[in-house]
Chain A
Amino acid sequence: MSASTATVGRYSGPKLQRYLVGYLFILPIVAFFLTFVLYPFARSFYISLTQWAGFGVPRFVGLMNYQNLLDDPIFWQSLRTTLVYTVVSTILQTILPLLLAVLLAAGWRGSVLFRTIFFMPQVVSLVVSGVLWQIMYDGNFGLINEALKGIGLGGLAHNWLADPNTVLPAILVVSLWQSAGFFMLIYFAGLQGIDQTLYEAAKVDGATKLKELWYITVPMLRPVTAVVVTLNVLGGVKAFELIFVMTGGGPNHASEVLGTYLYGLAFGSTAGAIPVVGYATAVSMVVFVLGMAAVFLQFWMTRRARDV
């Protein structure tokens, strides 16, 4: 029997029918993937190779948009800001929720109430949060300046979102306020899965609470941390709503991230400019590459966590 005959034999009759039925079942998701993921991505990549305002016929320009990116100071500024925002928000939004979860899991009285309080900002939309905090940061009427004056630190009062030195930290505070509760809950769920006998053994060995945290809790939560870090990295790479609402990327691009920059290029909405969709799509490809890097980071961290 030849190889080809063997292959035909393997996929003939009821076996073939079973395979076909199997493929029929995955057909919807394959069709969905092709229609809503692969085709838009391929189309986006093609658009990034064109000069196009979103109307008229796109003009193919090869890699010119990517070349222009290299020579675009606002792009580099927004890339830098995106990376800083991602790194800082990931560090803050990984460590603080972990500590909160550990504290609340200690079974103190009122921990359920605090869990609810910390989680509450999560139910408020990013846009609403942004508007609220924008008002709080206002230089003339903001609550934060009033509070500073109230405690005798009026010298620190200023327009927080108008100062290039304070605008990003100010936004990071809001991001932390908004998401800490969510990540705290993920950690809290992870803490429930740690075998209590490990802590009991540590106690017998005379370990302090800090050592328990460092040598038991943190390593045992590594798979959870991988998820939290990945979500934070992805959230940082595609940061948009909060920054768009609070500063629009200003002042003078000091809080410009790739998301706000590409939105402005594509729609010209805040700048009142003529859209450059081809160029904006090239920026979106950079966001895609960073997003993919985050996904690979997750794979790597998950594998490491599994290997421990």
Chain B
Amino acid sequence: MSGITRRDVLRAAGATGLALATAAACSDGGSSGSNGGKAKVRMWTWYGEQREQWPALIKEFEASHTNITIENRIFGDTDAYLPALQTSVTGGDPPDIYAPHVLAIEYGKAGIALDLKEAFGEDFLKGFFPSTNDEYTDDGKQYALGWMAQTFGMYYNPTLLDKAGVDVPETWDDLIAASKAIKEKTGLIPCSLSNNPGPTGLDFMLPLITQASDKPQLILDLDAQRNGAKWSDKAVVEALAKVKQLVDEECFAPGINGVTSEQASTAFTNSKATMYYSGSWEPQGFRTSAPKAFVDAYQVAETPAWKQGGKHWCANQAGAGLAVSAASKNAEAAVEFLKWVYEPDRYSKIMNDSNSMPSTIAAAEQISDPFMKKMTSWLTAGNGCGHILFGKGSSDAAAGQLAAVIAGDKTPEEGAKGIQEAVEKAQAR
């Protein structure tokens, strides 16, 4: 071993260092930068709906914007997407354009997401549904754009309802009455619903808070813990009590705390359930995976109202949004790309071709799909209300207490109080 000298070791270390430095220089390390003199814009979403459209769109954009290249990555589901986004943000290298999920405002406040009011201008943002803009806005700044809007309704199988001799329920009391008839005459599940994971049940419960109060702003205030709003509010107690009543009256399958979205959907499309409460993305999935006879027959109705003649408040907002990284070296190129994508004719075509619900008023007017047209009309009628919680700890707290109330472990009053306590605890973490 005496052959190895200190000089040899230093020489080897120097060579290794040089090699590593060269390798690092050759690689872009995954971060955005120039690509042969072009600005490279990385876009990450989980939105599989437009998977087939993006290649042609990107090709078209790159042909007219020769100084920009777009690298699009679609994860398909949030389970895969969110950890990847979180890791890229923690590593200081978020994609230039990304789906912010419920983190839009937190990312904005932390300086990770760009203020789009400044980047796009007020006029551009006016084209979106106000509720869509509101959900991404904090302290006068907006941190994301709505991509696909959504609303919820009661999907139903007319054949099975006829068999049970009941009509589409106008109110929740009607649903209870219909459920009894359905069980007696057909033995089927009256209404398919999922509460696993927890937030799927919030899609159902949170609009009930607006239904009980007739104040669409309340849910936003509760979420942000502002204007003196507390989760122990009477409307929250009433909403939880309504869910519990529907559970106790056996309107849903037993054990909805353990029913996944897939199970709830499959029960409906395979005629084990007569109705199914879910969102406006369902028709796309039904088309590809449900039996043809079902696809030809099923219908959708507005969410039942709190009382006869009451407003049919329905879950709204665009859970699918797009944010721009504030750290991006190519933020300008990213904004340019998004402006191009959102050009009215192009955007409405994208939404129509993918049977998606648009977030802009102009595109909503050009919808051709009958289901999307019907469901969007509920939003344009002003029935949309919040169902996504963005505040720190809100979603977990509400989901946990809702599940406890459904399981009978807590009364609605205890559940409402429990949400407030859990939110306050979570905010201290």
Instruction: Report which A residues bind B (CB closer than 8 A).
Output: 17-18, 21, 51, 53-56, 64-65, 68, 71-72, 74, 138-141, 158-159, 161-164, 167, 247-248, 250-253, 264, 266-279
Most buried by B among A163, A253, A273: A273
Cα-based distance from A247 to B392 in the complex (angstroms):
24
User: Which residues in B have their C-beta under 8 angstroms from that of A161?
Assistant: 258
Contacts of B107 in A (CB 8 A): 55
Provide the bound-state CA to CA distance between A158 and B429, in Å.
38
A276 partner residues in chain B, CB cutoff 8 A? 426, 429
Q: Which residues of B contact A253 (CB under 8 A)?
A: 400, 403
Which residue, A65, A268, A277, has most C-beta atoms of chain B within 10 A? Answer: A268
Determine the interface band of chain B, counting residues with CB < 8 A from chain A.
35 or more
Q: With a CB–CB cut-off of 8 A, which chain A residues contact B254? A: 139, 158-159, 162
Q: Dominant SS at the B interface?
A: helix
User: In whole Å, how far is A76's beta carbon from the nearest beta carbon of chain B?
Assistant: 13
- Tell me the nearest residue of chain A to B426, going by C-beta: A276
Q: Is the CB of B199 within 8 A of A272?
A: yes
Q: Are B425 and A71 in contact (CB under 8 A)?
A: yes
Inter-chain contacts of A278 with B (CB < 8 A): 429
Q: Does B409 contact A (CB under 8 A)?
A: yes
Query: Complex: how many Å from CA A269 to CA B403?
Result: 18
The interface-forming segment of B75-83, B120-128, B300-308 is: B75-83
Alpha-carbon gap, A141 to B392, bound state (A): 38
Q: Give B259's nearest chain A residue, CB to CB.
A: A162
List residues of chain A with CB within 8 A of the CB of B284: none
- Complex formed: what's the CA distance from A264 to B399 in Å? 13
Closest residue of chain A to B85, judged by CB?
A: A267
Most buried by B among A139, A253, A277: A139
**A167 and B82 form a contact (CB under 8 A):** no
Determine if A162 and B428 form an interchain contact, defined as CB atoms under 8 angstroms apart: no
Contacts of A140 in B (CB 8 A): 189, 253, 263, 266-267, 270, 272
> Among the listed B78, B407, B429, which residue makes an inter-chain contact with A279, where contact means beta carbons less than 8 Å apart?
B429
Q: Is the CB of A250 within 8 A of B425?
A: no
Q: In the complex, what residues of A have CB within 8 A of residue B101's CB? A: 272
Complex contact B258–A272 (CB within 8 A): no
Q: A56-B110, A72-B425, A252-B403 are in contact. Are A273 and B1 (CB under 8 A)?
A: no
- Give B contacts to A, CB under 8 Å: 1-2, 4, 78-79, 82-83, 86, 89-90, 101-103, 106-107, 110-112, 189, 195-199, 253-259, 263, 266-267, 270, 272, 388-389, 391-396, 399-400, 403-404, 406-407, 409, 425-426, 428-429
What residues of A have a CB within 8 angstroms of the CB of B404 in the complex? 252
Q: Is the CB of B197 within 8 A of A270?
A: yes
Residues of A within 8 A of B89 (CB): 54-55
Determine the distance from Cα of A236 to Cα of B89 in the docked complex, in whole angstroms: 31
28 A–B contact pairs at CB < 8 A?
A: A17-B2, A53-B110, A54-B86, A55-B107, A68-B425, A71-B425, A138-B263, A139-B253, A140-B253, A140-B266, A140-B267, A140-B272, A162-B256, A163-B258, A164-B407, A247-B196, A250-B403, A251-B255, A253-B400, A264-B396, A267-B86, A271-B197, A271-B396, A272-B199, A272-B395, A273-B395, A274-B392, A275-B86
Instruction: Using CB atoms, name the residue of chain A closest to B9.
Output: A24
Contact check: which of B106, B259, B409 meets A274 at CB < 8 Å? B106
Distance from B78 Cβ to chain A, minimum over Cβ atoms (Å): 6
Bound complex: CA of A56 vs CA of B391, how far in Å?
17
CA distance A140 to B258 in the complex (A): 13
**Contact between chains at A162 and B429 (CB < 8 Å):** no
> Complex formed: what's the CA distance from A17 to B110 in Å?
54
